[in-house]
């Protein structure tokens, strides 16, 4: 058991960190929240943190029991008086009922409902029946508690972690040694200049999450919800990563309006976009709506995109009168081969089928995809990735510098990266050093390195098969365009018996087409005279 104040201390650490480093980003609501929390008796604060880490939003008051909190009732009372929690009360019986166990619901219905069907009923049916009961019959239903201030907690988390994926759990996992983070001297400087920008980014993230939840559930939001989401997403975000997600969300939102048949509204949404993939879609939609001059104007704009990649590629090939891009064809410096196979197991992935086929031919093939380039770059550039540049590391639980996948990553570390590329190219750093690093840092959290994807044996085989100059070439390609660190790397690596025997294969099934980043990798490898080809598989 951790010390009594452990969980509360973690939250206090976040708060203290935020107010001492980001005081200029703390607005009145956040300050008010922090003040109210700190004025609370310690035992009530401890209860708040405990519940913060639980699922919620409603909790049965009669089931709250924590040794470090002590008596529950005074803590609950204090939370409610401070406006940090609320009781469900006499209304919202639905929320209270939903927290009961199935057999407790049955007890409530005992004698009320027509004979035995309750005994057979499932929980949801019992719950529905209970909701029809008279209020007097519900007097004994336990009170329920819900926390308030979730918005402020999210704000604190975003400020501390500079993302919305990490939370208090990271403190615990780090303390337990389950997650081991690279020790880096941090310099807490965030992209936001004022609190209003933080709030706007929070609203963007919230809206983006809501839209992806709808997409995951294959549901279409109500008209009113779409309007609300549009408001949250219409102005640009401050943090680059938030802006990326905002642009994705805008495209989702536009497609929702198209579902409703409202092209004008979809166009209006896309007009708020600042980058891929929404602006390309905007261009297509303008063209398909017959707004040619606008489409061409936007196309010209995309041509000069600072991003330099997806949007520019699109703009070069887009044909407004057709409303789509002109085909790339199979043009490229790489080779293609064909192979016909019989599909024994339709659930088996095509890469696996090819892998096994190649294994029968004697060689070994591994399904690596993007994991491999991450592994290589992560190991070869470990110290450079974790170099404490200004604004790169802002808290002790980072798996990478904040700008790792951004365009400027390389230029900000140009000298060190070029030097390391030279060491790789001339062999003074190579497989040996990478394997040493694998041993020395095994398990340390690194956004690039999937420690459990390959066995030590596989890593050794891979690294020994790839000559140092090849490693350098692959790293150079990826670092010149950071999205290639996680997109488009070929499916398979072939390993021969002798060192230096290797090859890369991109497997394509019928109807699967090369994506831009895959073309980029194939082109780079082929131009560097590395053995690489596309394998077009047909089913017999």
Among 9, 31, 182, 212, which residue sits at the site for DNA (rule: CB under 7 A)?
Answer: 212
**Which partner from the list Mn ion, DNA, none does 136 bind, CB cut-off 5 to 8 Å by kind?**
none
62 binds DNA (CB under 7 A): no
Q: Does 50 bind DNA (CB under 7 A)?
A: yes
DSSP 180: B
Q: Quick one: 188 or 509, whose CB is closer to DNA?
A: 509
Is 178 among the residues that bind DNA (CB under 7 A)? yes
- Whose tokens are 């949250």? That residue is 232
Q: Binding to DNA by residue 248, rule CB under 7 A?
A: yes
- In whole angstroms, the minimum distance from the beta carbon of 178 to DNA comes to 5
- Choose the one of DNA, Mn ion, none that binds residue 102, judging by a C-beta under 5 to 8 angstroms depending on kind: DNA
CB of 2 to DNA, least distance (A): 5
Calpha distance 14→159 (Å, rounded): 9
Burial of 146 (0-12, 13-18, 19+ CB in 10 A): middle
The one of Mn ion, DNA, none whose footprint includes residue 428, by CB under 5 to 8 A per kind, is none
By the 8 A CB rule, do 350 and 537 touch? yes
Mask for 441-460, x = binds DNA (CB under 7 A) = -----xxxxxxxx-------
Nearest residue (CB) to DNA, 318 versus 382:
318
Is 258 within 8 Å of 239 (Cβ atoms)?
no
- Of 375-434, binders to DNA (CB under 7 A) are none
Residue 255 found at the interface with DNA (CB under 7 A): yes
Contacts to DNA from residues 256-275, by CB under 7 A: 258
CB 447, min distance to Mn ion, A: 20
Nearer to Mn ion, 431 or 518 (CB): 518
Distance CA 374, CA 396 (A): 22
- Binding partner selected for residue 412 from DNA, Mn ion, none, CB under the kind-specific 5 to 8 Å limit: none
C-alpha dihedral, 425 to 429 to 432 to 437, nearest 10°? -120
CA separation for the pair 519, 517 (Å, rounded): 5
Q: Does 172 bind DNA (CB under 7 A)?
A: yes
| C-beta separation of 157 from 14 below 8 A | yes
Residue 193: contacted member of Mn ion, DNA, none (CB under 5 to 8 Å, by partner type): none
Q: Mapping DSSP to helix (H, G, I), strand (E, B) and coil, where does residue 505 land? A: strand
Query: How many Å apart are CA 228 and CA 122, to the nearest integer?
Result: 37
Q: Which residues lie below 8 Å from residue 348, measured CB to CB, with a gap of 6+?
A: none
Contact segment (CB under 7 A) with DNA among 76-84, 342-350, 432-440, 523-531 equals: 342-350
Nearer to DNA, 284 or 420 (CB): 284
Considering the complex, state which of residue 371 and residue 416 has its C-beta at the smaller distance from DNA.
Answer: 371
Nearest Cα neighbor of 93 from 52, 50, 139, 61 is 139
Shortest Cβ 248–DNA spacing (Å)? 6
Residue closer to DNA by CB (options 29, 50) is 50
Q: Is 349 in the site for DNA (CB under 7 A)?
A: yes
The answer to whether the CB of 407 falls within 8 A of the CB of 482 is: yes
24 makes contact, choosing from DNA, Mn ion, none, with CB < 5 to 8 Å by partner type, with: none
* Chosen residue from 201, 230, 311, 351 binding DNA by CB under 7 A: 351
Given candidates 498, 511, 529, 540, which one binds DNA under the rule CB under 7 A? 511
- Do 243 and 274 form a contact (C-beta atoms < 8 A)? yes
Q: Is 330 in the site for DNA (CB under 7 A)?
A: yes
Q: How many CA atoms lie within 13 A of 34 on its CB side?
A: 19
Only segment of 39-47, 349-357, 384-392, 471-479 that touches DNA (CB under 7 A) = 349-357
Distances (CA, A) of 125 to 100, 122, 247, 288, 414: 13, 5, 42, 49, 64
- The yes or no reply on residue 311 touching DNA (CB under 7 A) is no
- Tokens (6 digits) for 127: 């719950």
Residue 449 binding partner per list DNA, Mn ion, none, with a CB distance cut-off of 5 to 8 Å that depends on partner kind: DNA
Is 110 a binder of DNA (CB under 7 A)? no
The reply to whether 131 sits near DNA by the rule CB under 7 A is no
Alpha-carbon span 383 to 182, nearest angstrom: 10
Judged on CB neighbours under 10 Å (0-12, 13-18, 19+), 84 is buried
Instruction: Name the segment binding DNA (CB under 7 A); options: 33-41, 186-194, 385-393, 501-509.
Output: 501-509
Query: Considering only 70-78, 121-129, 192-200, 226-234, which stretch makes contact with DNA by CB under 7 A?
Result: 121-129
DSSP code, position 116:
T
| DSSP secondary structure, 455-494, as one string | -HHHHHHHHHHS-HHHHHHHHHHHHHSGGGGTS---SEEE
Select from 74-82, 108-116, 170-178, 180-188 the region that touches DNA (CB under 7 A): 170-178
List of residues contacting Mn ion (CB under 5 A): 369, 491, 507
């Amino acid at each position: 058991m951790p010390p009594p104040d452990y969980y509360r201390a973690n939250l206090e650490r976040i708060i203290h960190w935020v107010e001492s480093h980001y005081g200029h980003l703390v607005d009145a609501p956040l300050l008010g929240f922090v003040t109210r929390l700190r004025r609370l008796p310690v035992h009530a604060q401890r209860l708040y943190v405990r519940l913060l880490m639980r699922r919620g939003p409603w909790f049965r008051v009669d089931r709250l029991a924590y040794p470090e909190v002590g008596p529950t009732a005074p803590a609950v009372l204090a939370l409610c008086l401070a406006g940090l929690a609320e009781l469900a009360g006499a209304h919202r019986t639905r929320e209270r009922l939903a927290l009961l166990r199935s057999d407790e619901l049955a007890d409530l219905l005992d004698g009320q409902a027509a004979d035995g069907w309750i005994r057979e009923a499932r929980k949801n049916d019992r719950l529905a029946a209970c909701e029809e009961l008279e209020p007097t019959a519900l007097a004994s239903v336990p009170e329920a508690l819900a926390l308030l201030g979730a918005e402020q907690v999210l704000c604190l988390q975003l400020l501390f972690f500079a993302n919305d994926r990490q939370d208090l759990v990271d403190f615990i996992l780090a303390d337990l040694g389950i997650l081991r983070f690279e020790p880096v001297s941090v310099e807490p400087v965030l992209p936001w200049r004022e609190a209003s920008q933080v709030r706007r980014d929070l609203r963007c993230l919230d809206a983006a999450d809501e839209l992806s939840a709808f997409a995951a559930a294959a549901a279409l939001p109500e008209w009113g919800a779409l309007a609300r989401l549009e408001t949250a997403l219409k102005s640009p975000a401050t943090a680059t990563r938030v802006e990326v997600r905002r642009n994705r969300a805008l495209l989702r939102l536009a497609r929702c309006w198209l579902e409703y048949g409202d092209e004008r509204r979809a166009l209006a949404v896309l007009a708020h976009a600042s980058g891929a993939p929404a602006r390309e879609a905007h261009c297509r939609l303008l063209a398909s709506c017959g707004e040619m001059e606008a489409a061409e104007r936007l196309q010209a704009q995309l041509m000069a995109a600072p991003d330099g990649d997806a949007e520019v590629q699109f703009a070069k090939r887009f044909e407004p009168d057709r409303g789509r891009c002109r085909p790339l064809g199979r043009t490229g410096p790489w080779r293609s081969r064909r192979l016909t196979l019989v599909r024994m197991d339709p659930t088996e992935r095509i890469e696996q089928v090819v892998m096994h086929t190649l294994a029968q031919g004697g060689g070994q093939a591994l399904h690596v995809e993007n994991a491999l380039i991450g592994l290589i770059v992560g190991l070869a550039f470990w110290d450079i990735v974790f170099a404490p540049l200004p604004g790169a590391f802002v808290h002790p639980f980072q798996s990478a510098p904040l700008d790792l996948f951004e365009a400027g990553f390389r230029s900000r570390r140009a000298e060190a990266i070029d030097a390391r590329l030279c060491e790789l190219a001339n062999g003074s750093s190579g497989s040996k050093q990478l394997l040493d690093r694998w041993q020395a840092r095994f398990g340390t959290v690194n956004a690039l390195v999937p420690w459990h994807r390959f066995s030590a044996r596989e890593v050794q085989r891979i690294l020994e098969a790839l000559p140092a100059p090849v490693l350098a070439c692959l790293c150079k390609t990826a670092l010149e365009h950071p999205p290639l660190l996680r997109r488009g790397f070929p499916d398979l690596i072939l390993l021969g018996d002798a060192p230096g025997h290797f090859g890369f294969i991109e497997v394509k099934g019928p109807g699967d087409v090369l994506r831009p980043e895959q073309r980029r990798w194939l082109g780079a490898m082929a131009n560097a005279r590395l053995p690489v080809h596309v394998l077009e598989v047909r089913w017999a």
